[in-house]
A and B are shown apart, each in its own frame.
Chain A
Amino acid sequence: MRFSENGFYIAKYVKCANCGMLVYGAGVEKPLQGKIQIYCSDWCVEWARLRATHDGFFRLPIVQPKPAIEATARPNRPRASPPDMVMMNILDSTMVSICREMGILLMKTSYSTIFNEGLDFTCALADTKGDMIACAEFCPTMIGGMPLLIKTCAQEIPFETLEEGDIILHNDPYRGGLHCPEHTFFKPFFVEGELIGFAVCIGHIAEIGGMVPGAFCGEATEIFHEGMRIPPVKIQKRGRDVEEVWKLLLANCRTPRQNYGDLRAMIGCVNLGVSRITEIVNKYGKAVFNRTCEDLMDYSERRMRAELAGFADGKYGFSDVIENDGIEAKPYTVAIDIYVQGDEIVADYDRSSVQAKGPINATLGVATGAVYNGILHITDPSIPKNSGAFRPIRVVSPPGRVTNVDYPGPLVAGNTETHPRLANITIGAMGACVPQRVMASESCTGTNFVFGGNHPDHEEYFACYDIMSGGWGGRYGHDGNDCVIAINGNCRFNPTEVFETRFPFRVENCELVPDSGGAGRWRGGLGYRRTLLATAVPITGSQCSDRHEVKPWPIFGGAPGGNGATLIRKAGSSEWKTVRELYGKISSSKYANITIEPGDRIMLTAPGGGGYGDPSARDRAAIAEDVKEGYVSREAAIKRYAFSEE
């Protein structure tokens, strides 16, 4: 990383040519095809060499990157006695409970519907090395992204400048972040004057300025179209607001009152975390606390290694296609190769397309979190979620790809649309290894329709990030679930009665899409659709979705799931048209700033999931019940399953 001499800005983002991590120190310089490349470590030099010279499986025991802060951090004390398992159990559950308490406060006090109905946030505790020591179950994409985010931030904050009561705010996607709406708050906690760690929360603020209300600009070609970018800055110093920062932030969004509420809620959240964890450290003492946190991470590592050791060694590849980037009508490949070597894995995104012009790119934080997310789905869910669990996993995501975007490429959809694709191909790749633990593709989209306008009842601007999602893929033993949020979030859909109370739309239907579940021995789950009628004022809409053209993939002989769609019917017309037809956009799934006039309708459809296994092996009674309940039409049952009524 090259900072300006005055330290005010980044002159150049320096990334490892192999794994894509930011390189803060000197790095390792090596020529490749006549050009000097910078690598973060010798391990990456060697990995790149092996990959270039081997088509198949090879081994290279992993060495995790060592950020500079780890070199200066207090070394682990030599252990005089074996780990105190009782203390570990107590501290882990207490810290998870603190994180949950932080999340409840955030849910109850925040303003954006994506926070309080959507629960698009997460809360964690970290140590001074930037390792995540505990988190609560809120949003999985953020949990996976958290370790890298904390580590990167920790690199840039000189710890000696931190004081009790400081709160750091950050959302820079190129520095460990996920996308600009995801705001991270860090509050250091001290005991007897010594910095012990941080309470952290990440939350999605719906409106952050930029080209479109609600940040999801389907036509962004630069980060600057996607809203305000914030490097690590102090929003509070010694417990007092840094007013200049607040004013800058609130001047750069369309909904300052809402954002003020969300920012206050996040500050309340980390304040609570710090006060609770400080009590705990005081109760058990610093030494016991620090040692037990180390023990907990070692424990998670041990559990994860035991799981990975159960997978057969080998190279497992999988890929999927994103239909377009909103700028050009051409597809992009996301591909992964997972090298299982003993009790470790390397996940390599090298075969993915070069970075797109449009906003589908993923940051390294997203790509890394997606691998963690995928792996956590096929391993024991009871492993405590801390940085230790991720030690046996090394993610390699070369820069300049759709899987590791370079500055100033756009990326807002990477966290919502590309993350689930990456987590799903991670799971898909492992299908060849553990067929009974995997699932066909889910819908993989949050639909991500955002809109804003002037509210007819009061003089306030409104903005909303509306989430919908479709079916799960079929899995061994069960059909896919209908209408469940994509794998990267755990958000809830907006109830119609809340939605209409807040926004001048009328929801005309909210219904399952029959036949959208891909056929299979276990079929995919169904997607659903809603039709929104603009009632009073023109509404500006944008979307970052996918799967309007590319279907959710099946597995082991199943059929793909149904597509999603966005159709519009102008007032007075009886015809439904795509956004491309009606507004001359490149893509119907990704677009910016269309005007929906009063009387116009927009119909949003979320895709179904792919099928698992041969449809002819499906239980006949299940097919008959599907027809009775209308999940599968009679025609489709005859065609896909050779169904006949006896």
Chain B
Amino acid sequence: MRNVLGVDVGGTFTDFVAYDAETRKVSVWKELSTPADPVTGIIAGLARYEDRQSVGNLRIGTTVATNAVLERKGAVVAYVTTKGFRDVPFIQRGNRKAHYDMSWVKPKPLVKRRHCFELDERIDAYGRVVTPLDEAQVRRLAKEIAAMPEIEAVAVCLLFCYLNPEHELRTREILADELPDKALSISYDVLPKWKEYERASTTIADAYLKPVVGRQLKAMRGKLNSAGVKAPAVIITSNGGEMTLEAAADAPVQMLLSGPTGGVIAGRFVAEDLGIERLVTIDMGGTSTDVSTVIGKKESFTTAFEIEWGVPIQIPMIDIRTIGAGGGSIAWIDKGGMLQVGPQSAGATPGPACYGQGGGDATVTDANLVLGRINPENFLGGRMKLDKAAAHSAIAKLAGSLGQEIEEAALAIVRIVDNNMVGALRSVLMERGLDPRDFTLCAFGGATPLHASALMREMGIPRAVVPIHPAQFSAYGFIMTNPRVDRQRTAQLVSTRFDAERANRIVDQLVAESLAELRAQGYKQDIEVHRALEMRYLGQNYELELPLTLERFAAGTTAKLWESFHEAHQARFGFSTPGEIIEIVNFMVTAVARTAKPALAEISVSDSPAEPKESRFVWFIDGPRTIPVFERAHLRSGQSVAGPALIEEDASVTVLEKGHRLAIHRHGHLIIDATQEA
């Protein structure tokens, strides 16, 4: 059982990545998906894998949960809350998506107002019971819900339950007793943090998904069994961890970002492989670009996910910024005569003009082709011949309206799409107080290596890595995950009246809960526990996350903690307020079970200079020049290439600009460094 198999079930394709622990061989292949039934694609793909009998572990990324919320095809949910508050999911937060857009329609929650119910109970802001729960009323409500056959799930969110869960827990018991056939989610389990709308929205989403996801995962296991695949299967979760099928069915809101996390986990793998402290991953595909960071070998997380604008799901997820910039992004001229690129994409059909499938719009790929950066004979390893004339005429149309030469217009397209990606990089770096000069760019996805050198220059990023198989690299993430549990709780404590006892109790409880959850999934060894605090100055409304390094809170040890907050505030925001009262808002615990990871094979070493396979006429901002072209497969560890140059491989091209130098890592990654003269 030496093999690990990762499967990413997408809408069009199911991607497979298999790792053979003995030979260290990684194989990558694709199978058409059957949208109605994700398992069919998995089984078909497995059939193509000769070593399927030796698969010891199956890791599945699935968009089941994502699609159910995006297409609004989840269960009919009953929502139960504190008296006076059933309209919270409808009132929301009152702000609007964009200024000046009068056509905007405020999004609806995942629940109907006629299915919202109230309980006479109240807990106050100190966690004290103001109005006790009326258990008879809960039973009456349960009977009312039981009489509504369309309702498949119940979500419960009571005010201040994160301070005192007594009423929610009791409500859960009664409802479970009275409604054994209905799925049930309570907010204390799903997201025990303050702000009732966000918590309600997240809890409703969990209930909305449970029946659908539960059915699908159960069917999946059944079909795998009957196809003879007995290997244990896990689902990749939004936090970059994994959960058993059973655990995932019980907390489906955890799998919302199951698929897209692969690339970021793969990025973490690069950071570990190369010992990179600060990495920013950028994955440019046909229609979009995903950007994320890996700092201290850890992915970055967000709790700001939204199903659509204004409908939040505040489960910690890997933080991925997506923009509409890809090889297929269409260049167009706006009403004021300004050139714009994207977010519309020519997609796979008709695709860029150069695909010769009838697409007449100039795209980024067409521009790269016109500039000589893409070899029309070598696209997708030569499997697809590109039509250079079609690209030329598409760009010529645009150039005509701009009053520019064709190459000038093509350069403009590339510069604008680069700038769009710079915007995405700014938003994950500068807008979070991170300095790009401290980062390494990890460029994967078929189209990114064409732009990596330019992005380094524009952002002042000194180094980039183009990992092996950049076009399929994100699938590597699926074989690199660890089982992981994140638990958080809101409990405000201030520095001037700090209750160390209570703080210790909360941390202990969160640690115990996380470990119990991992144990329940069968993980008992090699478990790492990370503890963190979210803190702020009393009066602020947003927190900074600081790792909790104190073993125990005690009167004597907290001074160091407050000091570290002042320092963190200074580092992040450029100022601090010494002596100010500090508040701890959230306690966070992450438990990770470290499982064995694949190691990459080493490529051969050479001390002779790299030999170009040809030279080509390529356009850059400062004009055209003839530059050498190298075949990536022929490059050896220890060799290096000075820019300007092109490095071609099967499904990608790396453009190396003047002032950049490229070295080959022993695992085959390309490392680009800015040199002095850049």
A residues adjacent to B (C-beta < 8 A): 82, 85-86, 88-90, 93-94, 97, 100-101, 104-105, 107-111, 113, 116-117, 119, 137, 140, 143, 257-258, 260-261, 264, 267-268, 271-272, 276, 299-300, 302-303, 306, 373, 376-378, 380-383, 427, 437-439, 467-469, 475, 477-478, 481-485, 490-493, 495-498, 500-501, 506-512, 525, 528, 531, 535, 628-631
Given contacts A495-B195, A628-B114, contact A264 B577 (CB under 8 A): yes
Taking the closest CB of chain A, its distance from the CB of B241, in whole angstroms, is 27
Are B537 and A111 in contact, CB atoms less than 8 angstroms apart? yes
Are A119 and B95 in contact, CB atoms less than 8 angstroms apart? yes
One of A82, A111, A306 near B540 (C-beta < 8 A): A111
Asked if B560 is an interface residue, CB under 8 A from chain A, the answer is no
Given contacts A90-B416, A381-B100, A490-B96, contact A303 B336 (CB under 8 A): yes
Given contacts A97-B426, A495-B195, contact A140 B91 (CB under 8 A): no
A138 and chain B: residue at smallest CB distance: B99
Are B430 and A110 in contact, CB atoms less than 8 angstroms apart? no
Give the complex CA separation of A468 and B422 in angstroms. 38
Are B87 and A109 in contact, CB atoms less than 8 angstroms apart? no
Give the complex CA separation of A117 and B84 in angstroms. 22
Give the complex CA separation of A512 and B162 in angstroms. 25
Give the complex CA separation of A105 and B114 in angstroms. 41
Q: Which residues of B contact A376 (CB under 8 A)?
A: 99-100
Are B101 and A493 in contact, CB atoms less than 8 angstroms apart? no
Taking the closest CB of chain B, its distance from the CB of A302, in whole angstroms, is 5
Q: Which residues of A contact B416 (CB under 8 A)?
A: 86, 89-90
Are B99 and A381 in contact, CB atoms less than 8 angstroms apart? yes
One of A89, A261, A492, A496 near B340 (C-beta < 8 A): A89
Are B94 and A484 in contact, CB atoms less than 8 angstroms apart? yes
Sorted from nearest, which 3 A-B pairs have the closest CB atoms? A509-B84, A116-B541, A111-B539
Given contacts A101-B430, A508-B84, contact A271 B574 (CB under 8 A): yes
Asked if B555 is an interface residue, CB under 8 A from chain A, the answer is no
18 further A-B contacts with Cβ under 8 Å, apart from A104-B431, A373-B100, A531-B84, are: A85-B337, A97-B426, A97-B427, A101-B431, A300-B336, A376-B99, A376-B100, A482-B91, A491-B95, A493-B94, A496-B196, A497-B196, A501-B125, A511-B84, A511-B91, A512-B90, A512-B91, A535-B124
Taking the closest CB of chain B, its distance from the CB of A497, in whole angstroms, is 4
Of the listed residues B101, B104, B492, B539, the one surrounded by the most CB atoms of chain A closer than 10 A to its CB is: B539
- What are 10 A-B residue pairs whose CB atoms fall within 8 Å in the complex? A89-B339, A93-B420, A97-B426, A105-B573, A268-B574, A271-B575, A299-B337, A303-B335, A306-B335, A437-B102
Q: Which residues of A contact B492 (CB under 8 A)?
A: 501
Asked if B167 is an interface residue, CB under 8 A from chain A, the answer is no
One of A143, A258, A490 near B95 (C-beta < 8 A): A490
Given contacts A303-B335, A437-B102, contact A485 B94 (CB under 8 A): yes
Q: Which residues of B contact A485 (CB under 8 A)?
A: 94-96
Taking the closest CB of chain B, its distance from the CB of A630, in whole angstroms, is 6
Q: Which residues of B contact A493 (CB under 8 A)?
A: 91, 93-94
B85 and chain A: residue at smallest CB distance: A510
Q: Which residues of B contact A306 (CB under 8 A)?
A: 335-336
Given contacts A97-B431, A306-B336, contact A86 B415 (CB under 8 A): yes
Are B338 and A261 in contact, CB atoms less than 8 angstroms apart? no
Q: Which residues of B contact A272 (CB under 8 A)?
A: 574
Give the complex CA separation of A238 and B230 in angstroms. 71
Q: Which residues of A contact B339 (CB under 8 A)?
A: 85-86, 89
Q: Mark B475-494, 1 if CB is under 8 A from A, else 0.
A: 00000000000000000100
Give the complex CA separation of A113 and B540 in angstroms. 8
Asked if B553 is an interface residue, CB under 8 A from chain A, the answer is no
Asked if B112 is an interface residue, CB under 8 A from chain A, the answer is yes
Are A478 and B87 in contact, CB atoms less than 8 angstroms apart? no
- Name B10-37 residues within 8 Å CB distance of A: none
Are B113 and A629 in contact, CB atoms less than 8 angstroms apart? yes
Are A117 and B541 in contact, CB atoms less than 8 angstroms apart? yes
Taking the closest CB of chain A, its distance from the CB of B420, in whole angstroms, is 8
Are B338 and A89 in contact, CB atoms less than 8 angstroms apart? yes
Give the complex CA separation of A439 and B104 in angstroms. 12
Given contacts A272-B574, A491-B95, contact A510 B88 (CB under 8 A): yes
Are B573 and A108 in contact, CB atoms less than 8 angstroms apart? yes
Asked if B412 is an interface residue, CB under 8 A from chain A, the answer is yes
Q: Which residues of B contact A501 (CB under 8 A)?
A: 125, 194, 492
Q: Mark B334-376, 1 if CB is under 8 A from A, else 0.
A: 1111111000000000000000000000000000000000000
One of A82, A86, A373, A509 near B85 (C-beta < 8 A): A509
Asked if B106 is an interface residue, CB under 8 A from chain A, the answer is yes
Asked if B640 is an interface residue, CB under 8 A from chain A, the answer is no
Are B539 and A261 in contact, CB atoms less than 8 angstroms apart? yes
Q: Which residues of B contact A380 (CB under 8 A)?
A: 335
Given contacts A105-B573, A500-B125, contact A510 B541 (CB under 8 A): no
Are B542 and A107 in contact, CB atoms less than 8 angstroms apart? yes
Give the complex CA separation of A493 and B338 in angstroms. 38
A380 and chain B: residue at smallest CB distance: B335
Given contacts A137-B98, A490-B95, A629-B114, contact A82 B542 (CB under 8 A): no
Q: Which residues of B contact A525 (CB under 8 A)?
A: 106
Are B412 and A85 in contact, CB atoms less than 8 angstroms apart? yes
- Name B531-555 residues within 8 Å CB distance of A: 537, 539-542
One of B99, B130, B197, B580 near A490 (C-beta < 8 A): B99
Taking the closest CB of chain A, its distance from the CB of B560, in whole angstroms, is 23
B420 and chain A: residue at smallest CB distance: A93
Q: Mark B611-654, 1 if CB is under 8 A from A, else 0.
A: 00000000000000000000000000000000000000000000
Given contacts A116-B540, A378-B102, contact A264 B575 (CB under 8 A): yes
Asked if B403 is an interface residue, CB under 8 A from chain A, the answer is yes
Taking the closest CB of chain B, its distance from the CB of A20, in whole angstroms, is 25
Give the complex CA separation of A490 and B96 in angstroms. 6
Give the complex CA separation of A297 and B165 in angstroms. 56
A275 and chain B: residue at smallest CB distance: B574
Give the complex CA separation of A101 and B402 in angstroms. 32
Asked if B92 is an interface residue, CB under 8 A from chain A, the answer is yes
Given contacts A268-B574, A495-B197, A628-B114, contact A478 B105 (CB under 8 A): yes
One of B98, B195, B340, B427 near A498 (C-beta < 8 A): B195
Given contacts A101-B430, A261-B539, A306-B336, contact A475 B106 (CB under 8 A): no
Taking the closest CB of chain A, its distance from the CB of B438, in whole angstroms, is 15
Q: Which residues of A contact B340 (CB under 8 A)?
A: 89
Taking the closest CB of chain B, its distance from the CB of A439, in whole angstroms, is 5
B413 and chain A: residue at smallest CB distance: A86
Taking the closest CB of chain B, its distance from the CB of A507, in whole angstroms, is 8
Give the complex CA separation of A482 and B310 in angstroms. 13
Q: Mark B135-161, 1 if CB is under 8 A from A, else 0.
A: 000000000000000000000000110
Q: Which residues of A contact B130 (CB under 8 A)?
A: 506
- Name B40-90 residues within 8 Å CB distance of A: 83-88, 90
- Name B231-282 residues within 8 Å CB distance of A: none
- Name B202-252 residues within 8 Å CB distance of A: none
One of B96, B112, B338 near A299 (C-beta < 8 A): B338
Of the listed residues B95, B103, B113, the one surrounded by the most CB atoms of chain A closer than 10 A to its CB is: B95
Taking the closest CB of chain A, its distance from the CB of B369, in whole angstroms, is 19
Q: Which residues of A contact B300 (CB under 8 A)?
A: none
Taking the closest CB of chain B, its distance from the CB of A249, in whole angstroms, is 16
Give the complex CA separation of A497 and B569 in angstroms. 25
A88 and chain B: residue at smallest CB distance: B338
Taking the closest CB of chain A, its distance from the CB of B295, in whole angstroms, is 18
Give the complex CA separation of A287 and B420 in angstroms. 24
Q: Which residues of B contact A276 (CB under 8 A)?
A: 430
Asked if B423 is an interface residue, CB under 8 A from chain A, the answer is yes
A117 and chain B: residue at smallest CB distance: B541
